[in-house]
Structure 1
Amino acid sequence: MSLSNRAAWSSSRSSLEHAVEGVLAHLSVDPRAAGGMPEKARVVVLGGGTGLSTVLGGNASLPSWPDRPPEGLAQEFDRLDIGVCTTDDGGSTGELVRRLPMIGIGDMRKVMLSMTDRSVLVRRHGPDAPILKIIQQVFQHRFDEHVPTREELHDPVRVLTPALRRACPASLRAALAGLSTGLDRAIEERMRVPGHCLGNLLLTASVFRRMRSQGQTLSPVLLDAGIGAVADVLGIPPARLFAATASPGSLIFEYANGVVATGQSRAARARRGCAVRRVRISFSGTPAAHPRLLERLREADLIIYAPGSLYSSMLPVLLTPGVVEAIRANRRAVKILGANLWIQEGETDMSFREESRGFWVSELIEAYGRNVPGGIAGLFDVALATSLDTVPGSIIRNYALEGKHPIHLDRSRVAALGVMPVEASLFSNDRWHRHSMIHHDPARFAAAVRIVFSGLAGRPASRSSRRIRTEKPSRPGAPAIVQGPSACTRMDAIRRQLAGKAMRPASLRRAIEDFLWRHPDVPPAHLEYFNGVQVVPDSRWRRSREWDNVLGYYDPESGRIMLHEQAIRSGGSFEANFAVALGESLLGRYIAGKRWQEPRSREGCRIYEIELRPSGQRASLLSDAALRTYLRAARMQPRKGSPLCHWRAVPSDSGFLPCGILFGLTYAWMLDNVFVPALDFEMQMLQWPISRLLPYQVRERSRQRDLVRFFRDEVLGHS
């Protein structure tokens, strides 16, 4: 890219942007303003979530979707292929990957609905039936607390209202019922739990009905066949939808304070108060991108990165082995990054660059540079952002009250990264006027993409191909892809671990299993160090509250986790206290004795001393070397001449955290900072630059950093 081009991009609107706005200005008056027949270019769209499905064919979850004319990229381009993210683990999709060796299927369901070909369905089933409404109601139906019956799974139209059920053509009813025909009974029972989305169940049934046994591995062939069967029912042309990979995977988020957290839904709930530094993926088996998706990427004339979650929709696709290489190998294609409208809580709500709330389009691009091996070279030509200039301030203010803030286009920084900034009015006027909501309009987005493509296709000299300098990963040695068990394998191992433990009351077993599902960083091996869980009434609670007010602890004598009765009265209290006690159990039986001393030479302080058991007599997760490393981080000093004794001085008028409770609290904080608000307050220092700290704070920050690294690498195994 020449300096003159970059200067033009970074200042006022370009001629290309004026051309885009000229088309969009007439689009609301005349839908034909974008052009005539669908563009014949070979197009690949990558992404996941609602953002991808919306720009493809509209948000099928909206009540108005069946009544709206076809719109979006699927209407604008005739030769369209889609690569879909497979790492979703929340909601109904999460319940499926929790119990079956399955990829995250929820994003695929959304995409398939948006791609439904109405003309094909009308030819098959007749023009009179409300076919789209029937399909929408079936695939979007949620069972809430109701367990789906076998009859509903094998005859999905049973969930419809009586009127819609009567209106459903027999041919469509039979096609929907055929998706679950022949499903293994054991697999079916694992699927029948409350809270599911029926569309996810049908898509999963279509895949697993082709498996000969419950233990069979999910293969690309089986996955393609299952997806293809559902696509056929919806009238979607064959071989246009590709799961990015058939290997089940989990996202691993690393935050700026060094904490690591596993799981897409876990990150969405997280409120760490600091930016995401990078994301990795833990795959079961050897991951590989769909070979036909790679072929289409290499041959494409246009590659579109759909708007959506940066870390949990787009990066999982790009980090799938082979995808980035195929994109870079295609030097001919125009490559357009669809920038998000709003920040996403838990992911892009904090600026990594500015250490504050808010996010910029340039930071989206820089995040790709930190996460994708090789940076952004050969990935993006254009950043297509939404202009909110014409949106009333009252609407922006209402979003701000909900914690949602727009992602702004910073032209000069985007241009400096070698990417052309294009800003256009891409939001839906209809939803703005009717509901005061700002979302991407599929028709406007597709029209803008078409104009940008037409303006740049065949003009490689006008697009940047130089390699830019990007931030290095926070831990250069940490690979983007790691090997680990699938969510289903992990949960099966957890159930086996819990099966042999005494639980009083018995309802604790399900609560603990749910806790362990919501916190994927706890490996099954961490359950080996306690033999049961017991709820203790207040009248029999004997634990001292001198140093803390935690309502759960590990009793090394009985080997049980003890919970105060108050800890199980609410889910939040139970989870926090159980997490602390579980952490304490990992230290296990490591202390032979502990005592206080009043030294004569130190007025105003006491000496707290512990004596360790000999290493061969301990029952602990930590090796002898790891235990001593932890004790140093907990400010316990080895006593000269007594290698098993450790001590620390404590001012007489102040409290402190003994190393056992500190271990439990830190373990709980690593799982979720809201479990230990007081410790979270202290750990905020990790986010401050050293230049802003006083000398004693620098030392404290260093100790906190060592503690986080120890738990991340040694305890939770994220080294």
Structure 2
Amino acid sequence: MRPAVVALGGGHGLSAALSALRLMTDRITAVVTVADDGGSSGRLREEMGVLPPGDLRMALAALCDDSDWGRTWRDLMQHRFATDGPLDHHSVGNLLIVALWELLGDTVDGLDLVGRLLGARGRVLPMASVPLCIEADVRTAQGRCEVVRGQTHVAVTPHRIEHLRLHPADPPACPEAVAAVREADWVVLGPGSWYTSVLPHLLVPQLRAALVETPARIVVVLNLTPDNETAGMRAVDHLEVLRAHAPELALHAVVADPGSVDDVGELADLCAAMGCRLLVRQVRRGDQSAVHDPLRLAAALRDVVEDYLGDVGTRAGRAVGSRDSDG
């Protein structure tokens, strides 16, 4: 049976993970951040009081089947209007999702229906049941501590981020997302904007508890290059920040591209200290752009799964051999 995998994140990073995972399994659940406050999503969130649909839309598009039907729906979901009127920059997918939420009166039912319409190879869920606001404490070059509010502002801050929090501070998690994490075989965290797409999942108490308590193996996929919010941070720094925000989170493996790691030995030592494996594989596209290649990332994740299954089989064989010798 193919593994049940939950991927957590948002935006282009989550889309990259989903594009790889759908080559491995069709038992996929994407758990998506809901803190976007810019662009079409921000406008719909403000005008209609709904969850920002943009990252949810991108996850659904990434799970579309690679067929004429899937590609057509993927392109339609991502299509944006360019007008001088109120529809300017709204995407068709955002409007479709919000319209179904209004008709059905249920966020999850609406997303499931869109998924069926698209023939998506998996399910897309929000990480929380209410829209969230990200707030960060940052340290300026002059040493001052300042507060930056809103995902769009945190994502472009030129200052070093020291601490992250959500408003509301104790948001209700999406129950279906919590159940998916608890029932998963594997959980994939990253790649993506570290502070605005990856770490927020650990700030939703019920979801954090599920990630800590799940029997699933957790794999972290590191970014290929820093973005605005992580400028100057190395691969090892990303992992240190993750450990600082969730020291009790047990990781099974970390996947990193060799071109993104300046000191493999230091990263390997940190992984060993955290009790997880480091897999250094080329997972970026062949043109060396800062984009994960779905086939290469899928191969790396498949190796992580197969190595684990091989270890389990070896341990089981040893246990059987020990019982036989005792008899």
TM over 0.5: yes
Q: 1:305 aligns with which of 160, 164, 189?
A: 189
Name the counterpart of 2:148: 261
Query: How far off is 1:317 after superposition?
Result: 1.7
Secondary structure at the aligned position of 1:324 is classed as: helix
For 1:133 and 1:325, the matched residues in 2 are separated by 37
Q: Give 1:143 shift.
A: 2.1
Cα distance in 1, alignment partners of residues 164 and 124 from structure 2: 25
Within the alignment, does 1:418 sit opposite 2:270 as a pair?
Answer: no
Please name the residue that 1:378 is paired with: 249
Cα distance between partner residues in 2 of 1:237 and 1:383: 25
1:43 aligned residue: 5
Aligned residues, how many?
306
Question: Is 2:167 the counterpart of 1:282?
Answer: yes
Residue in 1 aligned with 2:318?
A: none
Q: How far has the Cα of 1:418 moved from its partner? A: 3.2
1:444 is the counterpart of 2:296: yes
Q: Distance in 2 between the 1:45 and 1:248 partners?
A: 20
Which secondary structure does the structure 1 equivalent of 2:90 belong to?
coil
Mapped contact 2:34–2:52 kept (Cα < 8 A) = yes
Q: Secondary structure at the match of 1:311?
A: helix
SS of the residue corresponding to residue 197 of structure 2 reads helix
**Which residue is equivalent to 1:249?**
132
State how far apart, in whole Å, the 1-side matches of 2:251 and 2:308 are.
13
**Which secondary structure does the structure 1 equivalent of 2:239 belong to?**
helix
For the structure 1 residues 423 and 298, does the alpha-carbon distance in structure 2 shift closer, same or farther, using more than 3 Å as the test?
same
> Where does residue 319 of structure 2 map in the other structure?
none
Q: Which amino acid aligns with 2:103?
A: R
Counterparts of residues 186-265 of structure 1 (less than 5 Å): 192-211=86-105, 222-236=106-120, 240-256=123-139, 257-265=144-152
Unaligned regions of 5+ residues in structure 1, if any?
1-38, 58-71, 120-129, 148-191, 212-221, 350-357, 389-405, 463-719
Give me the whole-angstrom Cα distance separating, in 2, the residues matched to 1:41 and 1:136. Answer: 25
Please tell me the residue identity of whatever aligns with 1:112. Answer: L
Contact 1:41 1:301 in 2 (8 A): yes
Question: 3-state SS of the aligned residue for 2:230?
Answer: coil
Alpha-carbon distance in 1 for matches of 2:4, 2:75 = 32
CA distance in 2 between partners of 1:145 and 1:266 (Å): 26
Deviation at 1:138, TM superposition (A): 2.2
Q: How does 1:543-692 map to 2 (within 5 A)?
A: none
- Describe the superposition over 1:628-668 as per-residue Cα deviations: whole angstroms up to 9, x where unpaired: xxxxxxxxxxxxxxxxxxxxxxxxxxxxxxxxxxxxxxxxx
| Alignment partner, residue 230 of structure 2 | 348
Asked if the contact 1:362–1:414 (Cα under 8 Å) also holds between the matched residues in 2, the reply is no
Answer yes or no: is the 8 Å Cα contact 1:55–1:443 preserved in 2: no
Query: What are the Cα deviations for residues 395-434 of structure 1, in whole angstroms up to 9, with x where unaligned?
Result: xxxxxxxxxxx464533333334332210011112xx0xx
Distance 1:258 1:324, change over 3 A: same
Q: Letter of the 1:207 partner, please give it.
A: W
Report the Cα offset of residue 47 of structure 1: 1.1
Structure 2 unmatched ranges of 5 or more: 315-327
- The 1:132–1:295 alpha-carbon spacing in structure 2 relative to 1, beyond 3 Å, is closer
Q: Tell me, what secondary structure is at the counterpart of 2:22? A: helix
The question of 1:142 aligning with 2:13 is answered: no
Letter in 2 for 1:140: Q
Question: Matched residue of 2:3: which SS?
Answer: strand
Secondary structure at 2:82's aligned position in 1? coil
Letter in 2 for 1:281: L
Q: Partners of 1:42 and 1:141 in 2: how far apart?
A: 30
Aligned positions of 1:291-302 closer than 5 A: 291-302=175-186
Counterparts of residues 521-560 of structure 1 (less than 5 Å): none
**Aligned pair in 2 of structure 1 residues 105, 453: CA closer, same or farther (>3 Å)?**
same
Aligned to 1:328: 212
1:367 aligns with 241
Is the CA contact (8 Å cut-off) linking 1:250 and 1:283 kept in structure 2? yes
How far, CA to CA, are the matches of 2:40 and 2:22 in structure 1?
27
Local SS of the residue matching 1:323: helix
What RMSD, in angstroms, separates the aligned Cα atoms of the two structures? 2.3
Determine the structure 2 residue equivalent to 1:82. 30
- Which one-letter code corresponds to 1:412 in the other structure? D
| Deviation at residue 133 of structure 1 after TM alignment | 4.7
User: What secondary structure, in the 3-state scheme, does the structure 2 residue paired with 1:341 have?
Assistant: coil
For 1:367 and 1:234, the matched residues in 2 are separated by 36
Alignment of 1:389-404 (within 5 A): none
Of 186, 196, 199, the residue aligned with 1:315 is 199
- Given that 1:342 and 1:407 are in contact with CA atoms closer than 8 Å, whether structure 2 keeps it comes out as no
Higher RCO (C-alpha 8 Å, min separation 6): 2
| In 1, Cα distance between equivalents of 2:181 and 2:201 | 12
Quickly say closer, same or farther: Cα 1:279–1:206, change in 2 above 3 A: same
Please name the residue that 2:16 is paired with: 54
Give the distance between the partners of 2:242 and 2:152, measured in 1 at CA.
21
| Cα offset, 1:197, TM superposition | 1.7
**3-state DSSP of counterpart to 1:83:** strand
**Pair member with larger Rg:** 1
When the two structures are superposed, what TM-score results if normalisation uses the length of structure 1?
A: 0.40
